[in-house]
Structure formats: structure tokens, C-alpha cells
């Protein structure tokens, strides 16, 4: 678990630094107060608190000491003590010390804001501004509060007042622009951020917030330019977020621009890292791993190893995930996020003794973190260590009472109680679960049928799991697996085995979980169960290309072979677009489908595309990094080797000789593609629809 930072605390401490820097002859020069200020400036906050308390025991009318105590209490989220201290400060600070009194009101406003009492916070900020109407921070704090209340007009007024006080700083313009973004007044926002960039060309946030507005206008080229610029200046967090959440039509463009940055700065690991993150967010795990490896080759870092491990978790390749988690820990043994990741990988592998060793380390590091106990409890339960599991579930509830309505926890602890013969405690958890889920629509994430089975109510358990199977299509294989578990819990082993078989046929192939799931213990000795597990284990051990049609059918996998030809050094494959037979040039480096103006005009004149298929204009980047204007059209149907793809975007370029390129916008949707140069064919392995 990474260290947690509370933004309001940071704001408060920044204000405290400002206060400590002030020189004011009205401040006392007593020994304890002076030592307290010194300790505070040296960031020895507990020592500072001790000195200020000593100062007040000697000089109880020192309002300045109360201000510091309030700030220190606030930083510990001790809001009651912080309020008491600042109230005492305001009673004792000299009336003529306007600077400290105004800052004290602003400090109290921060405390009220943290307590969600915005009425009092706004009142205190108004008092602070009344005393010192030239302080930019007060206007900025009040504008932020108005923003959080969605009162954008008043927020704008304060930002404009801030601008009037200092036209050369960017915060006021940024605030007005951000408010315009929220209200989707994109042009107004862009105008503000344009001015910010004129004032401060190296201020990354100006570009990242302007990118937000360009995204709103669907100006993908401008948006991706700004994202790259903001990343280049300062690794801007907002740009980093936007980078991962672009729509497909913009994401491909951004990837191309990042690849150009990588080519221009080959020694900079940040660019392959950014590319890895984008591919990772799109579940393109193989590409992500490749770029993480490139970043690591430039600057070995445990973060890269950790992220590669997560990619392998996404691929369900837990052996490699474990290897990279160990590499990350070898580089940074104190990274407990990786300890937690390693524990999760070991859990997925069914290696519970090793997993629990890692869980113990994590709990020892974060003994007050409820989810640490919840995770360990799950693994203790899977390891059949029921009493210890009950203890951890209960500890999680003590640390986070809101978890009392967590139906998953109730189901799991109820099961643990049942296994150790504490039936009354189990019944309480199951019945509470049913109360919590009573008014909810049943989905695959409902634990109601499990609770009914635990209570011995066979009819209701079957009724609810059948309702889920009939009405929830979001996770067919998962729902079938849950049905297998419910029926097995009821002792209906034949039906349970049927649902388990169906779940596996639909793609549920998490063997280690199946084999460690106590719900299925009744099935272990059945010959059909053993055959089923053996068949899935065999399939998982084979490369996709080696799966024969019968085995592929069991995994809902289809293998398609598409012949290709070589002409003039390029690979060409037959295709069919909206019913028109054509040839694609197979190019794994192309981001999207492109075609020449000649092909597009022919298709338009002969009704293979209609005016309604024209989406708009765009700028695209070729392999040389040159940017060319083009028209974007929608191809309603693309048939490639018998595989049907609907609604494929294509760029029409003005180069009359441009080939019809088959890019990643199609290849990425087809599945795993292997090139058999000997057999002159593409082998495509994919999941059936």
C-alpha cells in the first residue's frame, strides 16, 4: 500500500510554511516558542508540538503558538483539537496583526472544509479576505470550494479577482478554464489555456487541461499534441491519466506520436514506459510487456518489473508473473505493493503456504489496513485454516465497521463458521447477507444463493441461481461456475458437474482456483471431474497454434488460416469490404486501415460506401513520421479470411498510389496472428463470438 496523502493536509502545511516564514515583531521571542518554530521549519513536527505546548503552559496567551498547534493537529486529522486551537488563536492574536489573523481564519476554513462544513469554511474565507483583500491564496481557496459545490459562477468571480490582483500568474486563468471545461464550454476553456501557455510556456498543466478541452471537441490531433507536450515537460499526472483513457481513434494517434518521441530520445525510458501503460490499459499485454522491457533496458527499475508481473497476471501466466514479482522485490525489497502482488499471484496458483507467508509480511507492515486482513482471510479459508480465517475477517470488521454490509465477507465468514461447527454464528452472517441484498437485483455478483445453501434452503438457493443464469449475461462462464458451486454445496453433484463442464466450455479455465475451491470438494473423487480437470490442464499447456480442432472446440477457440501472396516485396491478402473484393497489404506497423482516394471514390460511386459512412477529417502519421490530411470513413463490414468485423474506421489519404493497408485497428481485433512464411499463410487464433 503506497503512502496516503491528503490534499487538504498538504494545502494546510503549505500555509504553515508561509506563516513560519513571516517576520513580525509582535511574535514573542520566548525560548520555547522559538524552539518550536525551529523544529517546525526542520519538519520535526512532534518536537515542534511539544515545544508549542510547553510555550502555552508558560505563556497561555500566545496566539501564535495556538496557530501552529492547530496546523499540526490538522495534519494528523485531529480536527476537533485543530478547531479548539485555532479558536484560541483568534481570541489571542493581536487585532493589529492582520496578516496572521487573516491566515488564521483561512486555516480554520481549511479545517471546516475537511469536515465538509462548507458554510463555515466559506464564512471564514470571507473574513480572511475582508482582513487581507490582497492575498491570492484566499481567493484561490474560496474559488476551489465554490468549484466543489458546482457553483461555477462564484468560482469564476474569485478567479477573476485573483487575475485582477496579479495578471502575470496563471492560477486564475487556469481556474476559469477548468470551470469552462466542466461546463463543456470548450472554446472558452481553450481560450483561457492558450493565454496560460503564453504566460508560462513550460507550465505542463496548461497543455494537459487544454487537451481535455480538445478531447471534448474531438480534435484528436491537437489533444494528443498537448498530452505529449505535458508529458514531455513534467510527466504531468493529468496528461498521464488522459493518455490512458482516450478513445480508440485518438489512442492510435497518440501511440504513433509517442513512438516518434521514443525515436528522437532513444535513451529516455519514459516514452517506452508511456507506451507500455497505454497498451496495458487496453489489455494489450504482449505489447505492454515489450515496452516495459525496453524501458527497463534503459533504466532498470522495480516499477517496470512490477508492471510486467501485472501484465502476466492479466494473461493468466502466473509462473512468469511470479518470476517478475520476485525480480521487482530483488530490486526493491521494501516495496510492499509488490509483496501484496506476489501474494495474490501465489493465491491464484493455489500455493497457499507461500502466499500466506507474503500476506503475513503485508499485515505486519500495515496492521491497521482492513483489506490486508480480508485478503489474508480469503487465503486462510482456501487453505482450510478456518479459525484463523474467522479471526482475520472479524479483525477487518473491527478496523472498518462499514464492511459489516460487505456481502462477500459475510458469505466467506459464514462458511468458515459453518466448517468449524459454529452454526449460530454462520446463520447470523448468512441472514445479514440476505438482508443486505434483499432489495438488489440479482446478478452474478450476488451471494444470495450461497447464503441460502449455507442455511440449508435448497429451493431458494436453486431459485436464485437459476434467476441469475437466466437474466445476467455479463459473465456467462462465471455465472455457470457459481452455479456449479451452489449445486455442489447442496450435494447435487451430478448437476454441479454439468454446470462446471458448461463453465469450462464457455472459457472458465482457472484450474488452480477450481482445484482449491472448497465449494467443489464434493466433486473431487468423481471420475468425470478428474477427466475434466486433466483435459483443461492439457489445453493450457499447449501453445494456441498446437491446439487441434477438437481441443479448440472445448475452449471455444477457432483457428483460421488465411493464404497470402508476395508481390514486389509486400505481403497481400484477400479481403472483402462491404461486399467489394479487394486485396489488403498486410502491415503490422500500420496503426489503422488506410486506402487511396481512388479506391474510396470507386466505392462511393458504386454504392459500396454511402455519404452517411463519411465520419469526418483527420490527420494521420505515416511510417516516416510525416503528417497527412485525410478523410475518415466507416467500413460497415470487413471480411478477412472468413472473419467478420463490423464498423472499422479507415483513413482515405490523398496519395493516389497509396495501397490498401491492413493496420492494427483490424489486426488487434482478430486475435493472435502468426505468420507461416513456409506455408505462405497467416494463422489466426481467436475466441468465437
Residues 6+ apart with CB under 8 A from 343: 355, 356, 358, 359, 362, 375, 379
Domain hosting 612: range is 557-687
pLDDT digits over 368-413, tens only? 999 999 999 999 999 999 999 999 999 999 999 998 989 999 999 9
Letter string b/e over residues 422-454, b meaning 16 or more CB atoms within 10 A of that residue's CB: beebbbebbebbbebbeeeebebbbbbbbbbbb
**3 state DSSP class of 571:** strand
Residue 272, pLDDT > 80, answer yes
Per-residue confidence (pLDDT) for residue 14, from 0 to 100: 41
Closest CA to 227 of 257, 272, 269, 264: 257
User: How confident is the model at residue 666, as a pLDDT?
Assistant: 66
Q: 471-496, pLDDT tens digit by residue?
A: 888 888 899 999 999 999 999 999 99
Q: Using alpha carbons, select from 96, 91, 38, 31 the residue that is nearest to residue 67.
A: 91
State whether residue 122 is helix, strand or coil: helix
Among residues 541, 522, 523, 520, the alpha carbon closest in space to that of 531 is found at 523
Cα dihedral 123, 124, 126, 128, rounded to 10, equals: 170
pLDDT (0 to 100) of residue 604: 83
Q: What are 652's strand-pairing partners?
A: 595, 631
Q: What is the pLDDT of residues 534-572, one digit of tens each?
A: 766 654 544 444 444 444 454 456 677 788 787 766 778
Residue 626 lies in a domain: yes
CA 625 to chain centre: 31
For residue 684, the model assigns a pLDDT of: 76
> Percent of the chain beyond pLDDT 70?
86
Torsion angle (degrees, nearest 10) of CA 67, 69, 70, 76: 150
pLDDT at 618: 53
| pTM listed for this prediction | 0.68
- pLDDT tens sequence across 226-239: 999 999 998 999 99
Q: Is residue 473 part of a domain?
A: no
Sort 280 into a burial class: Cβ within 10 Å, 0-12 / 13-18 / 19+. Answer: buried
The DSSP bridge pattern shows strands 614-621 and 557-563 to be unpaired
Is pLDDT of 364 > 60? yes
pLDDT value, residue 636? 85
Which H/E stretch holds residue 561?
strand 557-563
Residue 110 in domain: no
Is the backbone of residue 683 left (phi > 0), alpha (psi -120 to 50) or beta?
beta
- CATH code where residue 638 lies: 2.40.70.10
Residue 283 lies in a domain: no
**Mean pLDDT, the chain, whole residue set:** 86
pLDDT band at residue 10 using 50, 70 and 90 as cut-offs: very low
Rg of the chain (C-alpha set): 31
Q: Which of 587, 573, 683, 685 lies closest to 638, judged by CA? A: 573
| Total domains present in the chain | 1
DSSP H or E segment with residue 575: strand 570-577
Sign of the Cα pseudo-torsion (247, 250, 253, 254, in order): negative
Write the CA distances from 19 to 13, 626, 670, integer angstroms: 10, 54, 61
pLDDT value at residue 579: 84
The pLDDT value given to residue 657: 62
Per-residue pLDDT of 318-330, as tens digits, reads 999 999 999 999 9
CA 64/CA 47 separation, integer angstroms: 17
Look at residue 638 and tell me if it is in a domain: yes
Indicate whether 12 pLDDT > 50.
no
Please check whether residue 241 lies inside any domain of the structure.
no
List Cα–Cα distances, 292 to 279, 281, 660, in angstroms: 10, 13, 32
Residue 487 Cα distances to 10, 118, 416, 492, 495, angstroms: 53, 53, 19, 5, 6
For residue 492, the model assigns a pLDDT of: 96
Amino acid at each position: 500500500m503506497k503512502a496516503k496523502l491528503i490534499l487538504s493536509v498538504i494545502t494546510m502545511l503549505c500555509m504553515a510554511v508561509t506563516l513560519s516564514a513571516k517576520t513580525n515583531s509582535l511574535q514573542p521571542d520566548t525560548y520555547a516558542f522559538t524552539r518550536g518554530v525551529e523544529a517546525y521549519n526542520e519538519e520535526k513536527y512532534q518536537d515542534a508540538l511539544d515545544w508549542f505546548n510547553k510555550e502555552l503552559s508558560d505563556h497561555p496567551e500566545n496566539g501564535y503558538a495556538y496557530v501552529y498547534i492547530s496546523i499540526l493537529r490538522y495534519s494528523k486529522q485531529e480536527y476537533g483539537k485543530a478547531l479548539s486551537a485555532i479558536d484560541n488563536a483568534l481570541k489571542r492574536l493581536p487585532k493589529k496583526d492582520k496578516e496572521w489573523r487573516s491566515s488564521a481564519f483561512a486555516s480554520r476554513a481549511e479545517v471546516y472544509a475537511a469536515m465538509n462544513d462548507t458554510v463555515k469554511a466559506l464564512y471564514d474565507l470571507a473574513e480572511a479576505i475582508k482582513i487581507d483583500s490582497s492575498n491570492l491564496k484566499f481567493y484561490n481557496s474560496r474559488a476551489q470550494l465554490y468549484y466543489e459545490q458546482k457553483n461555477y459562477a462564484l468560482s469564476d468571480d474569485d478567479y477573476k479577482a485573483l487575475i485582477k490582483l496579479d495578471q502575470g500568474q496563471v492560477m486564475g486563468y487556469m481556474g476559469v478554464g477548468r470551470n469552462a471545461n466542466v461546463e463543456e464550454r470548450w472554446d472558452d476553456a481553450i481560450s483561457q489555456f492558450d493565454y496560460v501557455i503564453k504566460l508560462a510556456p513550460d507550465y505542463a498543466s496548461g497543455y494537459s487541461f487544454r487537451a481535455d478541452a480538445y478531447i471534448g471537441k474531438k480534435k484528436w490531433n491537437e489533444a494528443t499534441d498537448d498530452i505529449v507536450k505535458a508529458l514531455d515537460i513534467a510527466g504531468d499526472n493529468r496528461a498521464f491519466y488522459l493518455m490512458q483513457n482516450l478513445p480508440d481513434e485518438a489512442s492510435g494517434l497518440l501511440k504513433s506520436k509517442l513512438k516518434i518521441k521514443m525515436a528522437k530520445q532513444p535513451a529516455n525510458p519514459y516514452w517506452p514506459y508511456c507506451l507500455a501503460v497505454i497498451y496495458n490499459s487496453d489489455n494489450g499485454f504482449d505489447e505492454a510487456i515489450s515496452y516495459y522491457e525496453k524501458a527497463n533496458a534503459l533504466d532498470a527499475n522495480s516499477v517496470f518489473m512490477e508492471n510486467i508481473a501485472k501484465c502476466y497476471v492479466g494473461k493468466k501466466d502466473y509462473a512468469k508473473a511470479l518470476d517478475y514479482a520476485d525480480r521487482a522485490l530483488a530490486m526493491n525489497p521494501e516495496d510492499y505493493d509488490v509483496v501484496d502482488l506476489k501474494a495474490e499471484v501465489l493465491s491464484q496458483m493455489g500455493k497457499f503456504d507461500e502466499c500466506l507467508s507474503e500476506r503475513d509480511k503485508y499485515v505486519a507492515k500495515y496492521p491497521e489496513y482492513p483489506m490486508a486482513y480480508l485478503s489474508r482471510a480469503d487465503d486462510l479459508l482456501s487453505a482450510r485454516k478456518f479459525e484463523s480465517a474467522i479471526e482475520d475477517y472479524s479483525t477487518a470488521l473491527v478496523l472498518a465497521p462499514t464492511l459489516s454490509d460487505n456481502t462477500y465477507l459475510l458469505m466467506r465468514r459464514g462458511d468458515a463458521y459453518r466448517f468449524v461447527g459454529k452454526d449460530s454464528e454462520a446463520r447470523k452472517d448468512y441472514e445479514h447477507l440476505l438482508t443486505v441484498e434483499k432489495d438488489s437485483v440479482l446478478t452474478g455478483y450476488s451471494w444470495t444463493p450461497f447464503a441460502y445453501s449455507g442455511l440449508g434452503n435448497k429451493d431458494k438457493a436453486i431459485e436464485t441461481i437459476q434467476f441469475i443464469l437466466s437474466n445476467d449475461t455479463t459473465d456467462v462462464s462465471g455465472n455457470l461456475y457459481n452455479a456449479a458451486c451452489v449445486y455442489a454445496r447442496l450435494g447435487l453433484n451430478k448437476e454441479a458437474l454439468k454446470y462446471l463442464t458448461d463453465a469450462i466450455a464457455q472459457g472458465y479455465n482457472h484450474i488452480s482456483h477450481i482445484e482449491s475451491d472448497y465449494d467443489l470438494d464434493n466433486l473431487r473423487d468423481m471420475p468425470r471431474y478428474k477427466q475434466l480437470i486433466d483435459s483443461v490442464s492439457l489445453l493450457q499447456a499447449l501453445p494456441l497454434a498446437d491446439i487441434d480442432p477438437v481441443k479448440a472446440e472445448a475452449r471455444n477457440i477457432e483457428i483460421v488460416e488465411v493464404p497470402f501472396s508476395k508481390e514486389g516485396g509486400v505481403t497481400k491478402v484477400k479481403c472483402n469490404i462491404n461486399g467489394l473484393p479487394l486485396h489488403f497489404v498486410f502491415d503490422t506497423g500500420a496503426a489503422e486501415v488506410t486506402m487511396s482516394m481512388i479506391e474510396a471514390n470507386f466505392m462511393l460511386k458504386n454504392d459500396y460506401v454511402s455519404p452517411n459512412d463519411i465520419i469526418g477529417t483527420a490527420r494521420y502519421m505515416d511510417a516516416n513520421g510525416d503528417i497527412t490530411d485525410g478523410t475518415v470513413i466507416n467500413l460497415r463490414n470487413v471480411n478477412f479470411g472468413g472473419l467478420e468485423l463490423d464498423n472499422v474506421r479507415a483513413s482515405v489519404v490523398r496519395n493516389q498510389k497509396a495501397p490498401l493497408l491492413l493496420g492494427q485497428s483490424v489486426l488487434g481485433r482478430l486475435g493472435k496472428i502468426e505468420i507461416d512464411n513456409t506455408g505462405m499463410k497467416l494463422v489466426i487464433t481467436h475466441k468465437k463470438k
